[in-house]
Structure 1
Amino acid sequence: MDNNIVSLIKQGESQTVEFKTSFGKEVVVSVVAFANAQGGKIFIGVNDNGSIIGIDIHNETLKDWINQIKVNTQPQILVDIYKIEINAKSIAVVDIKEYPLKPIAYKNRYYKRVQNSNHLMSLDEIANMHLQTINSSWDYYIDERHDFDDISQENIEYFIEKVEQNLGKTFSDDPMTILKKYELIKEGKLTWGAYLLFTSNNSAITAFQIGRFKDPITIIDNIDINTNLFKQIDTAIEFIKKHLMTEFIITGEPQRTVKYDYPLEAIREIVINMVVHRDYRDSGNSIIKIFDDKIEFFNPGKLYGNLTVEELLSGNYSSQTRNRAVARAFKEAGIIERYGSGIARIQDECKKHGKVEVKFEEFQHGFKIILAKIEKKSNVGVNVGVNVGVNVGVNDIYEFIAKNQPIKANVISSNFPKVTQRTIERYIKQLKDEDKIEFIGAPKTGGYIVK
């Protein structure tokens, strides 16, 4: 065993190893941090550099330390402490197991081990750890702020219909009984999950903002979505589609194939993941920014369950869900296929598309996904840009209006960045003169449609 201990010490402090020169309150803090994480060992009598300096250990020393740890932790925990000799020097090894009922506190402060240091946990982290321990989640808890007047019967029926279609069965129970079976109603009251899924009002909790940007500060078009979660997905995707470029591929079939400049399936998967995994207790909004060369998707709430971006990309992780009630409802309705497969599908769709790469990163208090167009280097020269602009003709503008009507002239222009504003205006005038399109609505809010 001594050889294993020496090897651990040589590797230095880590997620599961800590060095201390003496016993004190910092040892108790480390015990709590390890118990709230994966467990670990504290070596007392070893300095920060891993040098064994030794420590005086008397007959009652270890018992006294065990008791001090016990009385200073809430709930009280017992650890194993034993003495070993290395190079004629005594050190103590505190062996801590991961505690099954988390979190553990030291003087009403909660710590967890993160890499090689002890991290003071936030209120959200404490709540999440407790919910994980009891195998529950926030959205299964009763919502005392809203009642049945705040949800829509139509939205409930939509959910039930989707579940019946997906599972190939017909419910014989009434809607309220079905929601009880899904634990969306408890003790005759709404849960937070029920409110999010079926709200009939504009809800600040579900606020979702999407904007089409010409540059980082200039917004061409935008939408605020404050609906129930089911409606959010289709509304968000339709808005994004309106601002994507399209090309028509001739396949020999009567109908031409339309290809967007971003993979639609990847976008749909990202939006669904945003809705399902968002931290709805965070005051921030879900935000999508559409630029000429990229789309940024930001969601409040970092990766759940101490998951890192590296683990996420490796695929070697156990999927955990922040909003279990919402995730279950989406799975039963057939909106998500299986837990933990979304990231792989996003990567696969971008790879199949061939012209977009995807990036994942934690950003401030949340998580960001970026779909960026791949810049292809060419030796052809400046004529490429000129030819791209020339090759966009009046028929392309007509087809774009037909697909996205009603649409404003500035939005049309933003989707053809290689074509000058004057050329777009000339094409629009030509189509109007040929009686192929018309403008409907007020000047500020209306747009062009095909006749």
Structure 2
Amino acid sequence: MIPKAESLHTEFKTSFSDEVIISLVAFSNAKGGSVYIGVNDKAELSGVEIGKETIQNWVNEVKNKTSPQVIPDTEVIDMEGKTVIVFSVIEYPIKPVSLKGRFYKRNGNSNHLMSIDEIANEHLKTINTSWDFYIDPNHTIDAISFDKVDRFIHKIEQRTQSEIQITPREFLSKMEIIREGKLTFGGYLLFVSDYCMISDIQVGRFKSDITIIDSISLNSDLFTEVDEIIAFIKKHLMVEYIITGEPQRTERFDYPLDAIREIVINMIVHRDYRDSSGSIIKILDDRIEFFNPGNLYGGISIDDLLTGNYSSKTRNKLIAKAFKEVGLIERYGSGIRRIIDICSSYGVKQPVFEEVFNGFRVVLFKEKTDGTKDVKDTIKDTANDTANDTVKDTIKDTVKVAISKNQKTILELITARNNITAEELVDIVGINLRNIRLNISKLKAKGMIQRVGPDKGGYWKVLKS
């Protein structure tokens, strides 16, 4: 029986040529498939004429032109007085397979010429390892900080409640971070002592798509980058204080911190560090965008990610293993589902996952799903809505003095959050920095607020009139 159309596993050819061998190579590098010789691309029989040695000669040509050698299974089909030859191959266990030094892979119903990265990845999967396990020819063990290694080991000891009784260097060898006495690519990224060019990450707070008001550039070890990225993002989030009746107030940020942490860790662990471009995080007024070089690994799609219909495959096995050892990764392959669940529980719009610009992007939104106000608006209303009687009474007493609408808004914001900065007030109140400072000066002159401590590290105190 002839299939009705070409597909992931089916190709039609009217005659034997190198195009047939290209398809067999592409099938060998994917999930296997069959080439029907004597069928046109509309699935119509054209047939082929063959002699006694024709099929064997074709098989030998396939074998001689491929590396590793591919020997297809053959079948002869006689239909409607015409002969069709079927060449079939399974997924080849040793990849990638090439035709005259060119590598192809089946993608949908067509053959795709593989890139250098795809070729390397197929080779690494074949030997059951990953790029980060390989010895780094450009750096020696002197390039890493053993203070950082000691902290890494201590975290493992704390998590496992057991003491590691070998030297740090022996431990790194046991984990294959050092191999044959030499540093691996993964070991360099995990514990580099100084500047690391290939771990470049840019993080910025944007007022618009092109206007940046604060940024950091990171080129350090991967564990440090996780901490510094999360600290920078947290600095630029709005927070509301929820009075629960307990002695300590509950903080609620406008984005779920657990989701941010999960996304950042996934960025660091799964990034393609062989790509010359860097990772980028953009914090905007209504969303945070996380971009990583490298498409999804292991042939999975966005739909596979969202439905969970895939087996976990890791681009950087050594890095992932190190993060798991210290408890930063709980379970392989569960990060996306956890991010979605966190956002759902937090009551914010579901994140977007997409492949763009030869990379992977996650967009996290602050918009709430229940129609309630975001943290910025909640802070404005906190002074009137909170169950904290002290805050209520303070506002009631102070507004008896004649103040402008902007001054009242600033007063409410300071009452709700006493460490709010002038720059954050600009974003919320909607006036420029000069006018923010002018209004603050007027509130101070009226004896309504007082600054305690320095500009950096201090806080506002609201005074009763």
Task: Please report the TM-score for the alignment, with normalisation by the length of structure 2.
Answer: 0.87
Equivalent residue number for residue 98 of structure 1: 91
Aligned partner of 2:360 in structure 1 is 367
- The whole-number CA distance in structure 1 between the counterparts of 2:411 and 2:195 is 40
Q: Gapped runs of 5+ residues in structure 2?
A: 382-404, 461-465
| Partner AA of 2:201 in structure 1 | F
Quote how far apart the aligned CAs of 1:75 are.
Answer: 1.3
Residues in 2 aligned to 1:141 and 1:74: alpha-carbon distance in whole angstroms? 24
Residues 431, 437 of structure 1: 8 Å contact kept: no
* Aligned partner (choices 113, 116, 122) of residue 123 of structure 1: 116
Alignment of 1:338-357 (within 5 A): 338-357=331-350
Higher mean C-alpha displacement, 330-339 vs 365-374: 365-374
Q: CA deviation at 1:410?
A: 2.6
Equivalence for 1:260: 253
Does the 8 A contact of 1:437 with 1:448 survive in 2? Answer: no
The superposition leaves residues 235-263 of structure 1 with CA deviations (integer Å, 9 ceiling, x where unpaired) of 10010011111122222222221111111
Superposition deviation, residue 165 in structure 1: 1.4
Q: 1:368 to 1:155 in 2, by over 3 A?
A: same
Distance, in Å, in 2 between the alignment partners of 1:211 and 1:341 is 28
Alignment match, 2:238: 245
Aligned length: 430
Contact 1:397/1:427 (8 A) holds in 2: no
Checking the alignment, whether the CA contact within 8 Å between 1:357 and 1:373 is kept in structure 2 is no
1:394 and 2:411 matched:
yes
Which residue of 303, 308, 312 corresponds with 1:315?
308
Taking only aligned residues, the RMSD between alpha carbons, in angstroms, comes to: 2.5
Q: Which amino acid aligns with 1:450?
A: Y
Which of 160, 163, 180 is matched with 2:173 structurally? 180
Is this contact kept in 1: 2:132–2:185, CA < 8 A? yes
Distance 1:199 1:250 in 2: 44
Q: Compared with structure 1, are the counterparts of its residues 197 and 412 closer, same or farther at alpha carbon in structure 2 (3 Å cutoff)? A: farther
Residues 296 and 370 in structure 1, CA contact (< 8 A), matched pair in contact too: yes
Shift of 1:74: 0.8
- Counterpart residue number, 2:437: 425
**CA apart distance, 1:57:** 2.4
Q: Counterparts of 1:332 and 1:32 in 2: how far apart (Å)?
A: 39
The offset of 1:283, in angstroms, is: 0.8
Distance 1:145 1:210 in 2: 27
Letter of the aligned partner of 1:123 in structure 2?
I
Name the SS of the counterpart of 1:235 in structure 2.
helix
**What is the identity, as a one-letter code, of the residue corresponding to 2:206?**
F
Q: Measured at CA, do residues 22 and 210 of structure 1 come closer, stay the same or move farther in structure 2, by a change above 3 Å?
A: same
Aligned residue for 1:88?
81
Distance 1:200 1:155 in 2: 8
Give me the whole-angstrom Cα distance separating, in 1, the residues matched to 2:85 and 2:151.
Answer: 63
Are the equivalent residues in 2 in contact too, given 1:32–1:112 (CA < 8 A)?
yes
Change (3 A) 1:76 1:273: same
SS at 2:331 equivalent: coil
Aligned equivalents of 2:246 and 2:138: distance in 1? Answer: 56
Alignment pair present for 1:284 and 2:277: yes
Partner SS for 1:85:
strand
Indicate if the aligned counterparts of 2:178 and 2:184 stay in contact, CA closer than 8 A: yes
- Residue 413 of structure 1 corresponds to 426
Superimposed CA distance per residue, residues 291-321 of structure 1 (whole angstroms, 9 cap, x where no aligned partner): 0011100001110011111111110100000
- In the alignment, does 2:459 pair up with 1:450? yes
| 1:306–1:375 distance in 2 versus 1, CA, 3 Å | same
Counterparts in 2 of 1:312 and 1:216: CA distance versus 1, 3 Å: same
**Structure 2: how far apart are the matches of 1:51 and 1:282?**
44
Matching residue within 154, 158, 169 for 1:165: 158
Deviation for aligned residue 1:343: 0.4
Q: Secondary structure at the match of 1:357?
A: coil
Letter in 2 for 1:243: H
Distance 1:175 1:376 in 2: 49
Q: How much has 1:148 moved relative to structure 2?
A: 2.1
Matched, 1:225 2:218: yes
**Does the 8 Å CA contact 1:143/1:191 hold for their aligned counterparts?**
yes
In the other structure, the counterpart of 2:184 is 191
Residues 349 and 369 in structure 2, CA contact (< 8 A), matched pair in contact too: no
